[in-house]
Amino acid sequence: MKKIISVSMAIIMLLQVCVFAFADFNVSKLTKPEWDVLYDSLKDDNTLPMLCVGANESEVGLCWHADKDTAVAQVRLADNAEMNKAKIFEGETTESENDEQVVCRVTITGLEENSTYYYQWYTDNGWSESCKYETKSFGNHKALVIGDIQIGGQTESTEVQSQNGYTWNSVLVEALSKNPDASFMLSAGDNTSTGKTAAEWQTLLMPEALRGLPLALAIGNHDKKGMMYNYYTNMPNEYYGEYFEGLDRDFWFRHGDVLYLVFDACSPAAADHMAMAKEAVEANPDAKWRIGVMHQALFGPGYSVLDPETSILLNAVFSPIFDSYDLDLVINGHSHLQGRSHFIYESTVVGKAESGETYTDPFGTVYLNTNAICDQNSFGASSMYTAYSFFDNDVTTYTTLEFEDDTLKIETRRGDNSELLDSLTLKKTKDFNDNGILQKLHRFIYKFVEFLGIVYQKIDNVVVKIRGGHF
Ligand SMILES: [Fe+2]
C-alpha cells in the first residue's frame, strides 16, 4: 500500500510539473521527504530524457533511453498541451551501454523566440506526457552556469545519490525561480562522479525543471572515468577531431550574439581543440561574444595553480587558443571553489577586474571558476590571478551571464538564497580581430604545442591506464 501511495504521489507531482507548473519555470522547492518519494519512484527507471541546447537558438535536442524492441526516435511538438496539430520530428537510435535499450536522439528545429511549446517523446509505453518548453529572447539572453554537479558522491550508494539529487534539485529551483528568463544552463563538467553508472545520469535527470531547461554539459575528469556521457547527451556540433579517442569530443553552439565553445579538457589533443575553435569561429564571424568552457581551472583559486598537470600542460594547450581567438570569458570547474580571475593574457594579469565594476573593451580573458553542486570538499587560496574568491564549501553557488546589446553582466549568487556574491560587467564596442600579428603568431607557435600535445596524449594514455582512469 505504501508503495502504491508513493508511486501515485510521484506521478501526480510529475504531472503537475510537466503540464501545469512550467510557466516561467514556476517550480517549487521540494522538501527532502518529497524528494525521497520522487527519487524512489524514478531510481529504477532508466528512461528520463535530457533536453539539450541546439546548434542555435531555434533548436533543442532530446536524448533518452528506450527498449530496443519498441524504440522510436520521434518527438512531437505543438503549441497546446492537448497536442493538437502536433508536428513530428524524427531522429535516430544508436546502441546504448546495455543490451536491452537503445539511445534515441532527436533535434527539434524551427523554434521561434518567446514562444510556448509542448513536446512528447516516444517512450516504452507510447507517447510521454506533454511537457512545456518556453523559448526566451533569441537576441539578448541569459545563461545559467554551474559546475561539478557530481552526482554520485564517488560511490554508487543510492542514499548518497538521493541526497545529491536533492541538493541539485534545490539549486536548480532556486536559480530558476530567481531567473525565469534563463534560456539554458551551462555545466563546466564533472556532471557525474564515477562516470560509469546509468544511475548517476538518472538522478541528474530527475529534477522536473530539466524538462523545460536545455543543458550544455562539458566533460569533466570524473565523467571521463567511464563512457556514460556518450549515452546520455545530445550536444550540438560535436567535434570528434583527428586525434581524439574514446569519449573525447568538443562542441560549440550559437545563441544570439554569442558563440559558446565547449572543450573536453581531459583530452590533450591540442590540434583538435584548435581546429574546433577555428571551425566555430569561422562559422560565426558576426558573433559579438566568445565564451569558452573547459573543466579544469586554469587560473581559479585553489590547488590547480600548484598542480603541474593543469598549470603547465593544460595551460600550454588551452591558453593560446583562448588568447588567439580573444575569448571574453572562460568558465571552469574542477577545484570546487567559486572564484574569478582578473583579465589574463599569456598567463599574465594584464588588467584588474574588480568586483562590481564595468570595463569597456578590456584586453585579456576573464576566467570564472564554479563551485561544486555536490561533493563540496575542497581547499584553496587566492593567487595573483584571483579577483574574487568564495571559500565557504558548505554553500552552493550559481552564476548568470546576461547579454544585453553590447554588455555582458556576470553575476554569481548563493545557491540557497540567491544573495549576490560577485559581479562584473564587460562592455564591448569593437569587433574581434582574428588576423592581428599577435593572433597569427600564437597560431604559428601553436604548431609546436600541437606536436607536444600528441606526445602528451600518448604519455597520458599510459598514465590513465596505470591510474585506472582519469583523476
Ligand atoms: Fe573535476
Residue ranges of domains in the chain, CATH in brackets: 141-427 (3.60.21.10)
What's the CA-to-centroid distance between 188 and ligand 1, angstroms? 9
25 touches 184 (CB < 8 A): no
CA distance 61 to 151: 22
Mean pLDDT of 330-335: 95
The per-residue pLDDT for range 48-78, each reduced to its tens digit, is: 999 999 999 999 999 999 999 999 999 999 9
CA distance 413 to 396: 9
Mean pLDDT of 86-106: 98
Element (H, E) at 106: strand 101-108
Mean pLDDT of 152-157: 79
Q: Find cell 535530457 and name the residue.
A: 50
What's the CA-to-centroid distance between 67 and ligand 1, angstroms? 32
CA distance 37 to 172: 18
CA distance 286 to 459: 39
What's the CA-to-centroid distance between 237 and ligand 1, angstroms? 24
Longest dimension (CA), the chain: 73
Q: Is the pLDDT of residue 419 over 90?
A: yes
CA distance 33 to 391: 30
Q: Is the pLDDT of residue 26 over 60?
A: no
What's the CA-to-centroid distance between 311 and ligand 1, angstroms? 14
Q: Is the pLDDT of residue 153 over 80?
A: no
Q: Which among 320, 223, 203, 207 has a CA at the least distance from the CA of 264?
A: 223
454 touches 269 (CB < 8 A): yes
Mean pLDDT of 13-21: 43
The per-residue pLDDT for range 343-380, each reduced to its tens digit, is: 999 999 999 999 999 999 999 999 999 999 997 777 77
What's the CA-to-centroid distance between 169 and ligand 1, angstroms? 20
What's the CA-to-centroid distance between 458 and ligand 1, angstroms? 21
Least confident span in 45-49, 56-60, 102-106, 410-414: 45-49
Give the pLDDT confidence score for residue 471 in this predicted structure. 62
Give the residue ranges of DSSP H helices in 195-314. 198-204, 229-232, 270-283, 308
CA distance 123 to 463: 41
Q: Is the pLDDT of residue 457 over 90?
A: no
Among 14-23, 100-109, 148-157, 240-249, which range has the highest average pLDDT?
A: 100-109
CA angle 30–295–408, rounded 5-degree value: 75
What's the CA-to-centroid distance between 180 and ligand 1, angstroms? 29
Give the pLDDT confidence score for residue 281 in this predicted structure. 97
The whole-model pTM stands at: 0.93
145 touches 174 (CB < 8 A): no
Give the residue ranges of DSSP H helices in 128-269. 158-178, 198-204, 229-232
Q: Find cell 556518450 and name the residue.
A: 230
What's the CA-to-centroid distance between 249 and ligand 1, angstroms? 17
According to DSSP, the β-strands at 397-404 and 348-351 are: unpaired
| Main-chain phi, psi angles of 272, to 5 degrees | -70, -40
What's the CA-to-centroid distance between 411 and ligand 1, angstroms? 22
Give the pLDDT confidence score for residue 333 in this predicted structure. 94
Give the pLDDT confidence score for residue 470 in this predicted structure. 66
What's the CA-to-centroid distance between 220 and ligand 1, angstroms? 5
CA distance 263 to 251: 7
Least confident span in 241-245, 260-264, 270-274, 438-442: 438-442
What's the CA-to-centroid distance between 283 and ligand 1, angstroms? 30
What's the CA-to-centroid distance between 371 and ligand 1, angstroms? 11
What's the CA-to-centroid distance between 280 and ligand 1, angstroms? 25
Protein residues within 5 Å, CB atom, of ion ligand 1: 190, 220-221, 334
**Please, what's the b/e burial string for 98-126 (b: 16 or more CB within 10 A of its CB; e: otherwise)?**
eeebbbbbbbbeebeeeeebbbbbbbeee
What's the CA-to-centroid distance between 285 and ligand 1, angstroms? 32
What's the CA-to-centroid distance between 3 and ligand 1, angstroms? 37
What's the CA-to-centroid distance between 263 and ligand 1, angstroms? 14
What's the CA-to-centroid distance between 433 and ligand 1, angstroms? 33
| Cell of residue 265, nine digits | 579538457
Mean pLDDT of 206-234: 96
What interhelical angle do 270-283 and 315-324 show, nearest 10?
20
30 touches 169 (CB < 8 A): yes
